[in-house]
Amino acid sequence: MTNSLRLTPAQSLTQTLLQKKTPEETALFLKPWLDSLGFETQILTFQNVTNVYATKNLSPSTQRPSQKVLGFLGHSDVVPAGEGWSADPFSGALQDGFLLGRGAVDMKGGLACFFAALAENKAVLDNFPLALFISGDEEGTAEGGIPAVLQELEKTSSRPTFDFILIGEPTSRLTLGDYVKMGCRGSLNIRFCLTGTSGHVAALGQKIENVATIMIHFLHELASFAWPPEDEIFGPTNLEITTLDADSHATNVIPAQARGGFNIRFGTKTSAEQILAKIESVAASYPHVSWFF
C-alpha cells in the first residue's frame, strides 16, 4: 500500500481531523461540515474547553415514547504527542497502509467513521432524531466538557432523552470490530499530596519520616485491595497509578512533599461513593496525606 492510495470518505475525514491540533480547530472544521448535513450545530465553550453539540430531527415532538433518539458521544482532544514518531504526529501521514497521528485511534478515527457513515446514510439523516456530543476535554478532568454541556442544556430545557448512545472509543482487541462494549465503566481521578519534613539522608538519629516511602506503602495498600467482582461486560475494578513526584531536587535529601495520582475504573457492582469511602478509610491511617481533588 502506498502513500498515493485513494482514501475512503472515513479515512479522508480521519486524516483531516488528525491535522487539527486543538479541539478549537476541530470544532471550527466540524461545524460547517455538520451544518452541510442539516444539523443544527453549536460550539459551546466552558472553562476554556471547546465542545460541539449538534442535533437533527430533534424537537419536542420527537420525545414521545414511541420514537427513538440516537446519541453519539466522542471527543476531539488528545493526549500529548510525546516522542518517537516516524512522522509529524499532526500530519495524518499515510505510511505502509496506516494513517499516523495522535488521536488516530483515540478517537478521531471513531469520530470520522460515525460522521462518514451518517453522510452516506440519507435515510438515517432524514428520519432519525440524532444528537451528537463532541467533548474538547475527555482526556483531562472533563469538567468543561460534556458535564458542562449537559448543564447548559438543562437551563434551556433542551437536553434530549436518549434511547441509545454510541460512544466511539476504541474497543477492539485483536481485529477491527471483534469486540463491542455494551456500556462504559465509571472513572475516578484522584490526586494526593503527602507532606512531611525534609532532611539529609545521611543524618543518623534524625526522626524524619520519609513521605516518599510512605507514599509507596499508601499506594500499595490501595492497589492491593480486592474490590467486589464485576460482571463479564465490565470486567474487574482496577486502579492504575498515573503520576508520582517528590520535591527534594537532590539525590541526598529526603523530600518534604510527595505527590501522586491514580485512576480507578469500575463497573455497575461498585459505586464511586463506595470507592471514595475505601480510599478515605485507607488514607486515615496515613496522617501525611491530603487531597488535591
Core vs surface per residue 47-57: b (16+ CB within 10 A) or e = eebbbbbbbbb
Kindly provide the residue ranges of all beta strands, DSSP E only, lying in the chain, ordered along the sequence: 40-46, 49-56, 70-75, 93-95, 98-100, 130-135, 164-167, 186-195, 199-200, 238-246, 253-254, 257-266, 289-291
Has residue 139 been placed in a domain?
yes
Residues 14 and 115 reside in one and the same domain: yes
pLDDT digits (tens, 9 = 90+) for 193-249: 999 989 888 876 677 889 999 999 999 999 999 888 877 778 889 999 999 998 878
110 pLDDT exceeds 90? Answer: yes
Residues 146 and 190 reside in one and the same domain: no
Structural contact between residues 30 and 52, judged by C-beta atoms closer than 8 angstroms: yes
Has residue 4 been placed in a domain?
no
Question: Which residue did the predictor score with more confidence, 113 or 63?
Answer: 113
Has residue 135 been placed in a domain?
yes
In CATH, what number is assigned to the domain containing residue 71? 3.40.630.10
User: What is residue 259's predicted lDDT score, i.e. its pLDDT?
Assistant: 94
Has residue 130 been placed in a domain?
yes
- CA dist 175 and 142 (Å) reads 30
- CA dist 131 and 73 (Å) reads 9
pLDDT digits (tens, 9 = 90+) for 16-51: 999 999 999 999 999 999 999 999 999 999 999 999
Residues 139 and 192 reside in one and the same domain: no
User: What is residue 2's predicted lDDT score, i.e. its pLDDT?
Assistant: 43
Q: For the whole prediction, is pTM greater than 0.75?
A: no
Domain that holds residue 251: 186-291
Is 138 an active-site residue? yes
Tell which of 167, 200, 230 closes a domain: 167
Residues 64 and 119 reside in one and the same domain: yes
Has residue 244 been placed in a domain?
yes
Instruction: Please pick, among 77, 163, 169, 209, the residue that the annotation labels catalytic.
Output: 77
Residues 55 and 152 reside in one and the same domain: yes
Question: Which residue did the predictor score with more confidence, 256 or 64?
Answer: 256
Q: Mean of the per-residue pLDDT values for the chain? A: 88
Calculate the alpha carbon distances from 282 to 43, 225, 278 in Å: 43, 10, 6
Residue 84 C-alpha cell reads as: 518517537
Instruction: Please pick, among 120, 138, 178, 221, the residue that the annotation labels catalytic.
Output: 138
In CATH, what number is assigned to the domain containing residue 241? 3.30.70.360
Q: How many CB atoms lie within 10 A of CB 136?
A: 29
Residues 211 and 276 reside in one and the same domain: yes
Question: Which residue did the predictor score with more confidence, 103 or 62?
Answer: 103
- CA dist 15 and 187 (Å) reads 30
* Overall domain count for the chain: 2
User: What is residue 235's predicted lDDT score, i.e. its pLDDT?
Assistant: 82
